[in-house]
Structure formats: C-alpha cells, structure tokens
Amino acid sequence: MTSLAEENYLKAIYKLQEKHGDIVSTSALAEMLEINAASVTDFIKKMAVKKLISYQKSKGVRLSEQGRQIALSIIRKHRLWEVWLVNKLNFKWDEVHEIAEQLEHVVSNELIEQLDEHLGYPKTDPHGDLIPDAKGRFAKNSSKPLLDHKVGDKTKFVGVAEHSNSFLQYLTKNNIKLGDELLVESIEEFDNSFQVKVNRKEHKLLSKEVVKNLFVITV
C-alpha cells in the first residue's frame, strides 16, 4: 500500500509529465509540491526502491507502470469527488479542489466504483478535465485552446487549462461557463485579445491570457 505522501508525489509527477514530457526534473517536482529539493531527492530515492518510479541523478524521474496506474487512480478519485461535490452538494467549481485533495486518498475501490455509477459514469470533471476509467483509460479529447482559433469560428467551451481559484472566479464573474457557445467575432492585432459572442447574445472582450486557457471544440 502506498502512503499519502507517495500518492501526492506520483500524481505530481504524472501532471508534470503531461506538461513537460517523460522525464521530470527534481527541481520542477519540488516547485510543484512546495518542498525543498533535497527532501524531494531523498524521498524519490525511496520510491525508486519500491519501483514506483525510476530515477537518474543526471536526468530526473519518471513513473514506472505501477506508479502510473496509482497516479491515474488518484486522479480518477479526485475528479469523481469533484463531480459529486458540484452536482450533489452544490459546491461551486472554484470550491472543490482542496476538498477533493483530501477525499482522493480513500482506499476503497468499491466505494469509488459505486460513486462512479451513482454519478452516471461522468467523462469529465467540473473543470472539463477527462476522468480516467477504472483501467486508467481516457475518452478521446479533441479540444484545443480558443487562442488557436480564427475569426468566424464557432466553438463550445469544454475545459480550462488554468485551475486557480482567481481564474475560475473571473469566468464566473463574467458569466462564462462550461457548455457555452463562443463565436470568435474579431481578434485584436495589437494584443491578440478576442471579441467573442457568448451563446449568441453577450459580447465579451477576452485577453490573450484568458483565451489561451479556455479549451474549446469546434461546433
């Protein structure tokens, strides 16, 4: 059985691999976990002995297949709990992350499978992130940043790249939510800000920083 700390490390390594590739530096891991680099190095050496990861001093760390499956299990639990908190307990999407961080370490697989069934087998969490199934498989994802689109493109908002509370609250304040239709009306040459029409009604001017963090699909 893995410890809570090991699970947090495995999840962090998985997320860093998604962003930066197969090998993760100990400095990047230390920054994400907000732990001193020397302590991180000591801990991952112990994890390597348990074959949860592989570690090379000159290169960095990567998940073993066992470590990857554990990381996916933690991510699955986390995202299912977020769905439960929003759909069943009426939490807002910017309120659930910290609570799910605690709930994701529940050991019972039977509970998680019952939770999945109770929720209707959701494919995504409240932020649009894909939920892996019990075997660690994800549904196909064809979304891309709104920033990659051109004038005239009609899109559907399906996820966020930035999960900070301030960003989620910004979207809520501006009445932009998952499932909204976003039509690109114009793009400012000077700063790449986007003028979009939301749900064929409201016109919004969104900065480049915002549109690069909105994942959409073409409709």
Say how many residues make up the chain.
219
CATH code of 4-63, in short, is: 1.10.10.10
Q: Pinpoint the alpha helices (H) of 34-164.
A: 37-49, 65-87, 97-103, 109-118
CATH code of 144-218, in short, is: 2.30.30.90
Residue 1 pLDDT greater than 90, yes or no: no
User: Buried b vs exposed e over 74-90: b needs ≥16 C-beta within 10 Å?
Assistant: bbbbbbbbbbbbbeeee
The percentage of the chain sitting over the pLDDT mark of 90, rounded to a whole number, equals 97
Question: Cα–Cα distance between 27 and 35 in angstroms, integer?
Answer: 10
The structural domains of the chain, with segments of one domain joined by +, span 4-63, 144-218
Q: pLDDT, tens digit, for every residue of 123-159?
A: 999 999 999 999 999 999 999 999 999 999 999 999 9
Question: Cα–Cα distance between 165 and 127 in angstroms, integer?
Answer: 11
Residue 192 pLDDT greater than 90, yes or no: yes
Residue 58 pLDDT greater than 90, yes or no: no
State the average pLDDT over residues 50-71: 96
Res 129: pLDDT: 97
Q: What is the mean pLDDT of the chain?
A: 97
Q: pLDDT, tens digit, for every residue of 21-53?
A: 999 999 999 999 999 999 999 999 999 999 999
For the entire predicted model, the pTM comes to 0.93
Q: Which DSSP symbol is given to 96?
A: S
Look at residues 155, 140, 161 and name the one whose alpha carbon lies nearest to residue 198.
Answer: 155
Q: pLDDT, tens digit, for every residue of 93-111?
A: 999 999 999 999 999 999 9
